[in-house]
């Protein structure tokens, strides 16, 4: 079954749109297929009933009609929300500088839960993540802070046989040591001061599904030993209990550290690392996958635009500025920049003057935005 079928008739940007969707590793076909989830049709639509009937025969849950050569980008729901009509200007720009086309790709891809990507490096990572997702093995994801390790973890869960079971994430670096044990393994009522009720813990909460141990390199050594036993024996003993509880959970772990160096320093157990590192994956810094930047940026604008308001589009010049930055803070930095752009922009276009990096403010009480932020265009 194709994810998306695109008819090329009356839609000259069909191949460019397909290329953007291919970057997210969606199954996209030009032309009608026996079955598909979403049908994309070029305007004009002379017979809506015939189009709806065609969609029904294909099993399509969505119909998207593209009105090309439009004066401006716009969205309109028809047929009680069953059909989305998109007014799409033909900018003549490459796909990664055409924000309207990127916005359409983002709307089409949204129901499938895939990663936002356009760079070949990211595409290869998605392919490998989906491959390993089919096998019930532990995965260790290493990569810089803010490079999408949790997003990749969720993709693995969604592509796995456990997809309809819980996905539970715990940040080992964000929870104090004296609380982490109780939250991870669970506890009985009265197990410690303040334990007024029992708690089954994250491991049992994820039973049947996936547990993500984010920044596991920050886990205390004593808890590492207990976790190793859970992985080996597939049982957990809550604090204050003498009874073991069986758990069936797939563990994904992430870190931004050099784990071999952590093992050499004696801060991480070698035996636990090899239990977790059955299949290693690595996320790359945003600077190493530059083609992801514009599609991520446009997707972030959609995500953070207040509900009920139209999503602004990146201007080609703004795309160029984003492409020229090194992004030391990776995806998190880009998201901050896009949220600031939404605050600063007054209309439907994110222009170069709205693309700003944080600078140290001199006086917040008297500062204008231009003195609080430093423009990338400067």
The pLDDT of residue 378 is 46
3-state secondary structure of 25: coil
Report pLDDT digits (tens) over 236-274. Answer: 988 888 888 999 999 999 999 999 999 999 999 999 999
| Tens digits of residue pLDDT in 56-86 | 999 999 999 999 989 999 999 988 878 999 9
Mean pLDDT of 113-129: 96
Q: What pLDDT shows up at residue 238? A: 85
As a CATH number, domain 1-115 is 3.40.50
Q: What is the pLDDT of residues 290-329, one digit of tens each?
A: 999 999 999 999 999 999 899 999 999 999 999 999 999 9
Tell me the pLDDT band of 366, cut-offs 50, 70 and 90.
very low
Q: Phi then psi for 71, rounded to 5 degrees?
A: -70, -35
Task: Give the pLDDT confidence of 322-331 residue by residue, as tens digits.
Answer: 999 999 999 9
pLDDT of res. 179 = 86
Q: What is the mean pLDDT of residues 32-43?
A: 92
Q: Which fold has domain 290-378?
A: Helicase, Ruva Protein; domain 3 (1.10.8)
- Determine how β-strand 235-236 pairs with β-strand 245-246: antiparallel
Is the pLDDT at 374 greater than 70, yes or no? no
- 369: pLDDT strictly greater than 90: no
Strand partners, 84: 64, 77
Predicted confidence (pLDDT) at residue 365 exceeds the cutoff of 70: no
Tell me the C-alpha distance between 365 and 329, whole Å.
Answer: 27
pLDDT of residue 1: 83
Q: Which CATH class is domain 120-282?
A: alpha beta
Quick check: 376 and 366 in contact, CB under 8 A? no
What is the domain partition of the chain in residue ranges? 1-115, 120-282, 290-378
Q: Answer whether residue 371 shows pLDDT above 60.
A: no
- In this predicted structure, the answer to whether residue 8 has a pLDDT above a threshold of 90 is no
pLDDT at position 189 is 77
On the question of a common fold for 1-115 and 120-282, the answer reads: yes
pLDDT tens for 141-176 read 999 999 999 999 999 999 999 999 999 999 999 998
At what angle are helices 316-323 and 292-304 packed, to 10 degrees? 120
pLDDT of residue 109: 96
For 217, the 3-state DSSP assignment is: helix
* Residue 278: DSSP 8-state: T
Q: Which residues of 269-278 are buried (b: 16+ CB within 10 A; e: fewer)?
A: beebbebbee
The answer to whether residues 310 and 103 touch, using CB atoms and an 8 Å cutoff, is no
Res. 363 pLDDT band, cuts 50 70 90:
very low
Please give the sequence-ordered ranges of beta strands (E in DSSP) within the chain, or none if there are none: 2-6, 28-30, 36-42, 62-68, 74-78, 83-88, 139-142, 167-171, 210-214, 235-236, 245-246, 250-255, 279-282, 313-314, 349-350, 356-358, 373-375
% of residues, the chain, pLDDT over 70: 93
pLDDT at residue 368 in the model: 44
Confidence band, pLDDT 50/70/90 cuts, at residue 20: very high
Q: Would you state the pLDDT for residue 198?
A: 74
Tokens of 144: 């810089």
The percent of residues in the chain predicted with pLDDT above 90, rounded, is 77
Is it the case that residue 367 has pLDDT exceeding 60? no
Q: Please write the tens of the pLDDT for every residue from 178-236.
A: 789 889 988 787 667 677 687 889 999 999 999 999 999 999 999 999 999 999 999 99
């Amino acid at each position: 079954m194709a994810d998306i079928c695109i008819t090329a008739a009356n839609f000259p940007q069909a191949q460019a749109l397909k290329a953007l969707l291919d970057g997210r590793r969606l199954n996209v076909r030009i032309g009608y297929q026996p079955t598909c989830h979403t049908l994309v049709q070029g305007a004009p639509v002379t017979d809506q009933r015939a189009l709806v009937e065609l969609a029904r025969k294909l099993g399509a849950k969505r119909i998207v009609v593209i009105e090309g050569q439009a004066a401006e980008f716009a969205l309109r729901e028809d047929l009680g929300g069953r059909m989305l009509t998109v007014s799409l200007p033909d900018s003549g720009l490459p796909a990664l500088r055409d924000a309207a086309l990127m916005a359409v790709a983002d709307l089409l891809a949204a129901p499938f839960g895939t990663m936002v990507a356009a760079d070949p490096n990211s595409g290869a990572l998605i392919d490998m993540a989906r491959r390993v997702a089919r096998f019930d093995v532990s995965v260790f994801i290493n990569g810089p802070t803010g490079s999408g390790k949790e997003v990749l973890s969720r993709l693995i869960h969604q592509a796995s046989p456990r997809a309809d079971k819980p996905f539970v994430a715990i940040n080992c670096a964000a929870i104090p040591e004296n609380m982490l044990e109780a939250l991870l393994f669970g506890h009985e009522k009265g197990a410690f001061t303040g334990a007024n009720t029992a708690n089954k813990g994250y491991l049992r909460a994820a039973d049947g599904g996936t547990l993500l141990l984010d920044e596991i390199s920050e886990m205390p050594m004593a808890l590492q030993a207990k976790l190793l036993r859970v992985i080996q024996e597939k049982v957990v003993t809550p604090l204050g209990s003498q009874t073991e509880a069986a758990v069936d959970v797939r563990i994904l772990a992430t870190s931004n550290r050099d784990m071999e160096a952590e093992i050499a320093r004696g801060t991480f157990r070698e035996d636990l690392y090899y239990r977790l590192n059955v299949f290693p994956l690595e996320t790359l810094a945003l600077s190493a996958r530059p083609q992801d930047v514009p599609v991520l940026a446009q997707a972030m604008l959609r995500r953070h635009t207040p509900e009920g308001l139209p999503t602004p589009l990146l201007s080609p010049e703004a795309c160029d500025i984003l492409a020229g930055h090194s992004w030391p803070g990776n995806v998190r930095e880009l998201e901050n920049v896009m949220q600031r752009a939404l605050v600063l922009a007054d209309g439907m276009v994110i222009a170069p003057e709205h693309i700003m990096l944080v600078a140290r403010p001199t006086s917040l009480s008297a500062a204008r935005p231009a003195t609080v932020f430093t423009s990338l265009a400067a």
